Chain A
């Protein structure tokens, strides 16, 4: 404890006046932050608020224009992650830095410098020791590429801990996890902080921030809005984060009222029968799936990721061919059709990977017309005026914060999703296939996207909603089905859904109750 001006001996990491500019944009404006030993300290803020930026500075991944960093009261100069690790700071970024073809032990050994010789047995022992010591269960001999995302995240955490980090920064760790894995992560973190670790937990989800953290620091547009106890009410946190309270549950009410909208028609606008789809390895990942989505309803598909959701959405997007079964849209058989024909048949597609659904290097305006270029041709050439007018119209209608000439890659996640949404909804699709529509979006954008989906349903579209966010499904869907190993294993009205039964079905343990027709 050398420094004179620490806020107390329990402070493990101290940031003072961190300022980081990118060109004209001030990403961090004189950020102060204290992280104590033995606490989980949430860093809350919308996308682009500067949460990740300030933590990247603390971990040496980028350099502040001004400000200082103290660890246990001692001023440290963090020029690179190497310095940060030496000072006891560890970070798990959103994109893991693991070598996928190597084993867990080898990955842990990679993080340690020194020596010409690599003693793999020692590495394996170290990995097993660390796994035991920190209560984080991973098999040292497992190939990282074969692990689930949640397990890979555990390896990343273990890697940081094995380097004796005393402050662990987690950048949106739950974004990639299914609910069960989130619970496991939280349990792990609780155990670690009990041992005196300080954890910085970056998130924009109010619920989990309140569930896990002792204190919450809120960033808005690069400024620190304050640090409050983790017990602070959601409305108050939301107000700090976005400057206004969120709309609350108003959406949920109408959702359940007209659930019977299309009941008269036994087969839905979207009707899938006995579908079989091969996964990347050629085996059937979807095996005998049947479902119907009626006009004016949102059918939610719940399930742990990897049970065929991606393949189902790919197939309905025209990006994957079925092995068997049939898909009918509004009476027209679209089985095995490609993307253009699917769009033509009235399917609007919003898959989970929005970057891969657009051309990020092209402008917003071009992306908005990419599905229908032939309608924007005049005398053989692109009708730039019509393209621009079309873009301006949609930018205004969908509140996209961008200029029509901006590259899509330059937009925030929320605005990228709005571009995709605008492209899809501007064609009035009869069927809307949506996957993880709000993943990674900030509160404002999430709310907007959800309201658009609900508006579509009200306008009579059949909406198929795939989400790993159970709250989202419960908020938006009229009816839920649970997918497990490529089949529908349960169905319920949203009113009847309780989290426990859903959880069991998703885990493949609940044949109890209404299996799908």
Chain B
């Protein structure tokens, strides 16, 4: 069984423990600003002013704060999806495809809802989206667990396939019969997520995302199943030795991850687009990996990182307008931030590797909270 062994070797090489502490993220942010100052200058803007636009301005009005939450919603889902899989040692790079499948399911159920009441339609959409995302995650998970086939490759390669499915539907059976646009029919009114604030696009999806993150945190941090998942991710052999069915743990984590990514698609269809479009996701699944990494794979960290990136996204578009710089600079900043964070993590690990005894590392592991809080549960 050399296959699983090699997959494991890679897992241990990129082990999820002791990831970015807040200190590292802070440094990463500073370095990122320094590195991106050049491109911003080239684009003809004052970097300080640009960062003000990127990070501060979005938080100065009610409208833009709510837009930050809207922008954070899909990546809250995908960040949580990725974090859960990574914590189990399953490198799900396929959140993008799983999201699209969830969106397809939501658009299908939503359009067929007719006159059914929301209390029926919305759960049905969420269920269908979750199942569709999990189904898209099923084959790579089985291949990994049964044959040790690298899930990084299989999950990644299924992403463009999912996009092809979307385009096939939009250019085929779901093409708008009147306009001929490649857009699915608009979903029924009962299938739309209620927007609970006036003059804002903020929708039910945001709340669902927070609930999912809270529930996932509870399970991972407070239940035996969560401890098994952490153990399987930190040391698959040690976990197996202790009698944990690592394959089963990983398999379930992979499907749950897919389901949550699928919910991101539901949320975008039911909360923002109200139909399936080929531009539904500008890479939310991949951004989920950024979010999970910046959040050090902890669920509270994911929430913070998603809000931060939401802030940056809204800021990038307002900066584009205010300073007449390309809105892609936001993506540049995001990309540099990710690379800087990973670089710093790698740097710290290689430095730490020279001391024989990990006790001597003055920075205690930030994650997971080892003990205590026994009484302080929710």
Contact = CB atoms under 8 A, between A and B. Distances in A.
Interface in A368-392: 370-371, 373-374, 376-377, 380-385, 387-388
Contact of B234 (A361, A382, A387): A361
Contact of A405 (B218, B355, B372, B375): B372
Interface string B327-355: 00000000000000000000000000011
A376 B227 CA distance: 12
Given A340-B243, A366-B227, A371-B243, A388 B365 contact: no
Contacts of B154: none
Contacts, number: 122
B31 to A, nearest CB: 26
A388 B374 contact: yes
Nearest to B18: A361
A384 B223 CA distance: 10
Interface stretch (B185-193, B198-206, B295-303, B356-364): B356-364
A362 B241 contact: no
Contacts of B282: none
Nearest to B365: A407
A260 B15 CA distance: 50
Q: Which of A365, A381, A383 has the most CB of B within 10 A?
A: A381
Nearest to B239: A359
Interface in A14-28: 22-23, 25, 27
Given A340-B243, A359-B242, A366-B370, A381 B377 contact: yes
Query: Which of under 10, 10 to 19, 20 to 34, or 35 or more describes the interface residues of B?
Result: 35 or more
A357 B237 CA distance: 7
Nearest to B222: A381
Interface in A396-430: 404-407, 409-412
A373 B227 contact: yes
Contacts of B370: 362-363, 365-366, 405-407
Interface in A197-217: none
A405 B17 contact: no
Contacts of A373: 224, 227-228
A493 interface: no
A349 interface: yes
B230 interface: yes
Contacts of B234: 359-362
A319 B223 contact: no
Contact of A380 (B223, B231, B371): B223
Interface in A54-108: 61-62
A52 interface: yes
B242 A371 contact: yes
Contacts of B373: 384
B238 A358 contact: yes
B235 interface: yes
Interface string B240-251: 111111000000
Contacts of A359: 230-231, 234-235, 238-239, 242
Contacts of A409: 358
B229 to A, nearest CB: 11
A157 to B, nearest CB: 22
Contacts of A381: 218, 222-224, 377
B240 A339 contact: yes
A62 B241 contact: no
A167 interface: no
A405 B371 contact: yes
A317 interface: yes
A242 B224 CA distance: 41
Nearest to A351: B241
Nearest to A409: B358
Nearest to A377: B224
Contacts of B375: 384-385
A22 B357 contact: yes
Nearest to B238: A359
A314 to B, nearest CB: 10
Nearest to B367: A361
Contact of A357 (B15, B238, B356, B360): B238
Contacts of A247: none
Interface string A300-325: 00000000000000000111000000
A343 interface: yes
Interface in B49-66: none
A356 interface: yes
A386 to B, nearest CB: 9
A503 interface: no
A295 B342 CA distance: 54
A508 interface: no
Contacts of B374: 383-385, 387-388
A389 to B, nearest CB: 10
B17 A357 contact: no
A460 interface: no
A440 to B, nearest CB: 12
B360 A22 contact: yes
A365 B372 CA distance: 11
A262 interface: no
A194 to B, nearest CB: 33
A339 B235 contact: no
A49 to B, nearest CB: 12
A187 to B, nearest CB: 30
A361 B230 CA distance: 10
A48 interface: yes
B298 to A, nearest CB: 14
Given A356-B241, A370-B231, A61 B358 contact: no
Nearest to B371: A405
Nearest to B16: A361
Q: Which of B15, B235, B244 has the most CB of A within 10 A?
A: B235
Contact of B235 (A53, A361, A374, A387): A361
A385 B240 CA distance: 25
Contacts of A288: none
A349 B371 contact: no
B373 to A, nearest CB: 7
B242 to A, nearest CB: 4
Given A25-B360, A362-B230, A384 B241 contact: no
A357 B373 CA distance: 27
A383 B237 CA distance: 25
A173 interface: no
A103 to B, nearest CB: 23
A362 B374 CA distance: 16
B228 A22 contact: no
5 contacts: A62-B355, A357-B242, A360-B235, A381-B223, A387-B374
The 10 closest A-B pairs by CB, nearest first: A384-B374, A340-B243, A22-B360, A363-B370, A405-B371, A370-B242, A410-B359, A373-B224, A361-B17, A361-B234
Interface of B: 15, 17-18, 218, 222-224, 226-228, 230-231, 234-235, 237-245, 354-360, 362, 365, 370-375, 377
Given A340-B244, A362-B230, 16 more contacts: A23-B360, A23-B362, A52-B356, A357-B241, A358-B242, A359-B238, A362-B227, A363-B370, A363-B371, A370-B242, A374-B224, A383-B374, A384-B372, A384-B373, A410-B357, A412-B357
